Amino acid sequence: DNVNNPYKCTHPSYQVHKVSSSPLVIYIQNFMTPSERQHLRQISSSTFRRSAVAGNSGAQRVGIRTSQSTSLPPSDPIARCISERAISFQGFDIHESQLEPLQLVKYAQTERYDFHTDWLSDPNYVTSFNGGNRQSSFFVYVHVSNDTTGGGTNFPLLAAPHDNKWCDLGILECDELYTNGVTFRPLEGNAIFWENLLPESGEGDPRTEHAGLPLTSGDKMGMNIWTRQMPLSEEARREDLPVDF
């Protein structure tokens, strides 16, 4: 960014396709532009560390995630622009303060994130300090190398949509003969959005279980955009919390 070419937040005309009504899952093509993705890779190149996992028994669960994570400074203009997009997508009713700092996660060959939910089951983490639970998730594919194989995002409990278009567009993994829920292939710039909590009770929806499948070759970077039920306290947004917290 310089004086002659100041950055201005504009939004790409993304395309949306409903995957499931219950739980609500929406696939979004072109959610993030190539220049945004490049910027995110640049500013994060030296800040990654081994991903943490929030859970009842941290030590036991930490092995299920072998990726590296970093959160973005909320003041970054591109992070702000993407946050604005995520709010507008959800119908504007969400306040900025309900978003966790945007999180990048990257995987090298063999790395993965085993089955989990993004909503937190441990009441110790579901506090008003932290804005309650995670109401919704976006997972955006920020970078996928040309030689990437594997590394899809699998939702074992979702019913796959039937139309061949999902396969023809390369969005879904359609090679597997057995039913294995839905596996999204990592496609740069595209995103999956879903709601984590049951509408009536606000309890975590077990059907949103998912995994980042192991990369068999190449590398992959994604972004998590998590919206909490309530505003996170200023401290919680400022604090250098464990990245998956």
Ligand X SMILES: O=C(O)CCC(=O)C(=O)O
For binding to ligand X (CB under 6 A), which residues are involved? 105, 113, 118, 139, 153, 210, 212, 222, 224
Binding residues for Fe ion restricted to 43-102, rule: CB under 5 A: none
Min. distance of Cβ 92 from ligand X in angstroms? Answer: 25
* Interface with Fe ion, residue 118, by CB under 5 A: yes
Strands in 68-71's sheet, in edge-to-edge order, are 15-20, 25-29, 191-195, 134-144, 220-228, 103-107, 68-71, 49-50
Identity of the residue numbered 34: P
Give me the least distance between CB of 210 and ligand X, in Å please: 5
> What residue 218 binds from Fe ion, ligand X, none (CB within 5 to 8 A, per partner kind)?
none
Asked whether position 205 contacts Fe ion by CB under 5 A, the answer is no
Of the ranges 21-29, 104-112, 114-122, 156-164, which one interacts with Fe ion (CB under 5 A)? 114-122
To the nearest whole angstrom, how small is the minimum distance from the Cβ of residue 105 to Fe ion?
9
Q: Residue 32 and residue 85: Cα distance in Å, rounded?
A: 10
Comparison of 93 and 110: residue with beta carbon closer to ligand X: 110
SS3 114: strand
36 binds, among Fe ion, ligand X, none (CB under 5 to 8 A by kind): none
Residue 119 interface partner, choices ligand X, Fe ion, none, CB cut-off 5-8 Å depending on type: none
Q: 156 is written with which tokens?
A: 């074992």
Which run of H or E residues covers position 70?
A: strand 68-71
Q: How far is the CB of 155 from ligand X (least distance, A)?
A: 10
> How far is the C-alpha of 244 from the C-alpha of 118, rounded, in Å?
9
197: DSSP letter: B
Per CB under 5 A, which region of 42-50, 75-83, 116-124, 164-172 contacts Fe ion?
116-124
Q: How many CB atoms lie within 10 A of CB 165?
A: 11
Nearer to ligand X, 131 or 212 (CB): 212
Q: Hey, what's the torsion of the CAs at 82, 40, 26, 243, to 10 degrees?
A: -100
Report the interface residues with Fe ion, using CB under 5 A: 118
